[in-house]
Structure 1
Amino acid sequence: MLHASPDRIAHDLQVLAGDIGIRLAGTDGERAAADHVAEVGRRLGAPVWIEEFPVRSRVVSEEQLEVRIGDAWHAFACSLFSSTPGTGGEWRSGAIATITPTDYQRDDFSHLRGKAVIHLGCHIESRAAYQRLIAAQPAFLLMVDTRYAGDTPRADGMFPSYTADIGAVPTLNVAHQDAWHWVAQGATEARCRVVGGMEPATSQNVVIDLPGTDLAHEILYASAHHDTQADSPGADDNGSGVVGVLEIARLLAPLPRRRTIRLISFGAEEQLSVGSAAYVRAHRDEIATRGRCMYNLDSFGSHLGWLQLYINAHPDFEASFRPYLHAADLRYQTITAVVPYADHFPFIATGIPGVFHYRVNCDGGRFFHHRPDDDLTRVSPAVIARDVGAIATWLDAMSTADALPFTPSIPEAQRDEVAACWEDLFGGWP
């Protein structure tokens, strides 16, 4: 078993979440993180390259929300969704209306016109549903993350392909408990003001390549993402993944291998895997013909919690790495649902097996998800090191095997669902 270093991991975490901090897509912070990843790879003597791609970066200097309860206006915290516009610094107001997931059964949304709409649920996983909502012309949306009944707004975003094709109105994430209070107290009106919004920018994917020898045409991918959500230093999401990829590079770079191991740190994941989608669109033929699997690391450093593996593959793929995780005393929940919210998904859209390695600490995921307190106190270098050692040992074994012990494709039963999700949420292939 290869052994990862908690000390090296702690150092990388300090650089990413402490020294650099917030790493929004398209900003100097994100680029600084990418440069750190590239420099570690270069120091190992590995081939390293950076692939840039266009994004729209969230640049907000002021955001205000006030709600009228009785005769008085009250201020509340909020966070502008990425991929949605600000208000040009002007106040926008409307009477309050509420919409829940079951309200999409309605035939008519005209009652939402000009309203400040409290929307239960921060993800709208249907292009047709989103189009109906925007066509109703609400004044703005107040999105409530129903996974967490907390008192802190969580940062999030609307899917870029939705807003590019359909349009958007100012959309603010609000705390679950605040929305509850408004409705319970009979709030009648809301108004918001946002200075800034989305601006054209450039993000980047960083590749650290560990070339193989006689089977170099076969590629094993492993990845993480180096960007964060608004106002979050992202120690766990996804500093944990990035430092994991860097430690895998350190462990495997000196070792001989037959197959190529390609480690990638993606940008702009928090806007719905924009970086990994850009990568697979640019390298679709290579992935389809040479790619054998993707192992993605995202948010797995929580002190207290349990491991979940989202796996889209034939059963023999999980069987290939299960003994290595068990040898490190790692047990996990296996989830085979098609989940588009991590960087493994664009790879399974090309047809190769993928896994998303994730550690949760509550039924809603992580209680500090997309918040300013996702800081260095939330992550354990020892937990990260344990997981990374097992994954690196498996990758080493797969890179040297005479033949891979798994089927390098996804089950036929999942292909239609993957294709439909790729088309609806990501806009499909060019």
Structure 2
Amino acid sequence: MSTVEGFGHVHFVRRDDGTEGVLKSPRPNRGSRKVSAYTLKRYQEEVRRMQELTRDGVTGIVPVLDADPNDPPQWFVMPKATELREVLSPDGRPAELREVVEAIRDIAETLAVLAGRGISHRDIKPPNLMHYQGRPAVADFGIAAWPDRPELTSATHKMGPMYFLAPEMRFPEPGTPGYPADVWSLAKSLFVLAKGIEYPPEGTHYVQGKEYSLWAQGGEAAMDLAPVMEMATAYEPDDRLTMAAFRNELSAWLDVHPDPVTPAHPAFRRGFRALDAATFDMERHEAELRRLLPEQMRRLAEAQHGARDQWRAPWLVERHTEVPLLEQHGYPDDTDAEYDMGVDGMAVAATEPDAAGRRIVLGGFLMGTATTLAGEIQQEGKVLASWTQDVNVLLPSALLALRRIAGEMEAAYARLGA
């Protein structure tokens, strides 16, 4: 049995010992028995480079089992692997969102490693995402960009899979890096695998758009994933998450949601944390910060007082309004200030003071859509210890950062003693 795929013929083969594989050879031009010089050169480059990756023991790719010993090679054999879609959706059943995210996180890890070697795949799409030897793997490096190799595709050709193609790869200029495009294509692949559809909607993943919603697949957990998808499909490549950052955010989402997520009925789909579609980005960040604080404050109150309700609820303070609970970080109006600190608001909360007058304060400072998390242990106007970290509060990693700060504050308070 054989099929035609991309730049080559694909044949299913079997060794005498019963091992099955897929033999790939260059495809002749239409109406001719000859293989064009362009196709042959690209094919030969794929064989050589895949042999290098296989020899180097790079995991997460479908390796080369055998190849034509002649130079230039005319064929190579890969092991037979299963499409990832078939593993995630056996018998056509809907995929479980957490399993999809976990698989795409593993693919992102492989692509991040390849990016570190100067390699971009440039053809990421579900048919090229496989399951091999018990883990997700990437296949078909036919149009990959390799280090120290001249570009073989002209700027008049689109570069990548049509429905998963990043905007900058439609008519790429020479030297256009493929790494950001791989992030875009992988995020689009995540969406279609989770949604159970063939092709993704066009453009940046808009968290308010119904066509971009994974609410039915994961409810509130899917809403936590939406900002990651949005940043992975930012229109400008420089605004997009790197592959390593995409991997890290997917890992953070998995940490935040350790159990299988519960699908929700589409009829009950809410907007982004019940905010209207017209809500400004800053308001989204403000609302998310206020949503995240109570869980950590209950934890800190229990550690300090043995009761989870011994804390003051978080609130947002307008720009340049003095915040009594966070004096060291507040930005009151100061007519003598030489420059504007640019703080647009802050959300803070604090435990009730203990017998020694100590309280634990936790909050964040909003500067546009950037947030600085801040925590303090205070006693009678003095700061005994403090913590800060810059985050994008919409991403799962922000919750992990908030948990880490709260954990360190809890440990520091315990060391102070009664």
Could you tell me the TM-score, scaled by structure 1's length? 0.27
State which structure, 1 or 2, has the greater radius of gyration over its C-alpha atoms. 2
The structure with the largest strand share of the pair is 1
Q: Which has the higher contact order (CA 8 A, sep 6+)?
A: 1
